[in-house]
C-alpha cells in the first residue's frame, strides 16, 4: 500500500521522525493513504500518544476525517481502548463528538457498549453532545446500556434531560423491551420507576415487555411487570412464538 513517510512514521509511533517531517512547509499532515486513513488516524489507532499530541497541536490537522469505511480517529481509539488518546482527541475544540464511526454508532454509543464510564462522563459533560442520537438499527446509547444490563450507565444517561427513556429502535423495541428480553432485572426496575416509560408498549410485531420476559423465562421480570397497573397480562403475542411460551393466561 502506498503511504506517505509521515503516515508510516505516525503509524509506528516514531515521534522524532514525525516532528522532523512536520517541520517542513511542504508536508500535508492530513494526506491519507489508499485506505483513506490519515497520520492522525493511524497514530490514534496505535495508541501513540506523543504523535497524537504533535498532530493535534497543528491547527491544519482535521481530527474528524474518516477513512474510506467511515471510521473516525475518535471511534477507532475508543474501540481499541486507548483512553488517553481519546481524551487528547476530545481536547480539540473542533472535534465532533457525535460523528458516528463505520458501524453507524456514535462515540457515546460505542463508549456505552464498551462500558467505559470514565470516558462516558467526559462525553456527557460536553455541551455539544447529543446523547439520544440513534445508531445501528435505530438504537440509542440508552438502548445499548439496557441490553447490556449496565445499571450504572443507565442511571448516568437518564440523569440527562435530553434522553428519551422510551425511544424505540427500528423494530419498535424500547429500552424496557430490550431489558426485559435480556433479563436485566435492575434496569427494568429503574425504567419502571419513571413516569415517562410505557410498561406495556408494543413493538412492531405487537409484543410487549411482558411478552419477551415470559418468552425467555425471566420470572422475576414477569412478576414486576404484572405489578404495574397498566400492563395487560392477557395480551396475545404474535403467532411466531410457540403457545407454550405465552404470558400467563394466554395459552388458550
pLDDT score of 79 more than 80: yes
pTM: 0.84
- The stretch 21-31 carries a mean pLDDT of 93
Question: Which percentage of the chain shows pLDDT scores above 70?
Answer: 93
How many residues would you count in the chain? 252
Please state, in angstroms and rounded to a whole number, the distance separating the CA atoms of residues 80 and 200: 39
Q: What is the reported pLDDT for 2?
A: 74
Q: Return mean pLDDT, the chain.
A: 91
C-alpha cell at 41: 488516524
pLDDT tens by residue, 1-19: 578 899 999 999 999 999 9
pLDDT tens by residue, 172-196: 999 999 999 999 999 999 999 999 9
What superfamily would CATH give domain 1-96? Ankyrin repeat-containing domain (1.25.40.20)
| Exposure of 66 in the CB half-sphere (CA atoms within 13 A) | 12
Q: For the chain, which residues make up each domain, given as ranges?
A: 1-96
Q: What is the reported pLDDT for 156?
A: 97
Scan for cell 481536547, then name that residue.
91
Please state, in angstroms and rounded to a whole number, the distance separating the CA atoms of residues 84 and 140: 25
Q: What is the reported pLDDT for 109?
A: 94
Q: What is the reported pLDDT for 1?
A: 59
Query: Helix axis angle, 49-56 relative to 15-22, nearest 10°?
Result: 10
pLDDT tens by residue, 105-132: 999 999 998 999 999 999 999 999 999 9
Amino acid at each position: 500500500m502506498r503511504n506517505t513517510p509521515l503516515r508510516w512514521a505516525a503509524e509506528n509511533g516514531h515521534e522524532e521522525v514525525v516532528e522532523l517531517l512536520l517541520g517542513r512547509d511542504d508536508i500535508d499532515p492530513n494526506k491519507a493513504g489508499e485506505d483513506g486513513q490519515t497520520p492522525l488516524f493511524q497514530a490514534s489507532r496505535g495508541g501513540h500518544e506523543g504523535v497524537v499530541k504533535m498532530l493535534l497541536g497543528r491547527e491544519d490537522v482535521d481530527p474528524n476525517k474518516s477513512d474510506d469505511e467511515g471510521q473516525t480517529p475518535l471511534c477507532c481509539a475508543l474501540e481499541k481502548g486507548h483512553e488517553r488518546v481519546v481524551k487528547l482527541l476530545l481536547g480539540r475544540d473542533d472535534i465532533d463528538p457525535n460523528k458516528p464511526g463505520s458501524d453507524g454508532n456514535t462515540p457515546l454509543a460505542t463508549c456505552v457498549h464498551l462500558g467505559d464510564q470514565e470516558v462516558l462522563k467526559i462525553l456527557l459533560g460536553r455541551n455539544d453532545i447529543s446523547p439520544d442520537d440513534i445508531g445501528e438499527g435505530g438504537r440509542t446509547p440508552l438502548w445499548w446500556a439496557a441490553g447490556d444490563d449496565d445499571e450504572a450507565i443507565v442511571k448516568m444517561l437518564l440523569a440527562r434531560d435530553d434522553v428519551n427513556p422510551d425511544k424505540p429502535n427500528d423494530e419498535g423495541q424500547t429500552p424496557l423491551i430490550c431489558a426485559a428480553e435480556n433479563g436485566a432485572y435492575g434496569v427494568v426496575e429503574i425504567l419502571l420507576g419513571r413516569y415517562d416509560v410505557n410498561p406495556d408498549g408494543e413493538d412492531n410485531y405487537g409484543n410487549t415487555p411482558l411478552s419477551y420476559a415470559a418468552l425467555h423465562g425471566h420470572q422475576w421480570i414477569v412478576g414486576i411487570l404484572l405489578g404495574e397497573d397498566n400492563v395487560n397480562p392477557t395480551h396475545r403475542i404474535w403467532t411466531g412464538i410457540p403457545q407454550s411460551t405465552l404470558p400467563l393466561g394466554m395459552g388458550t
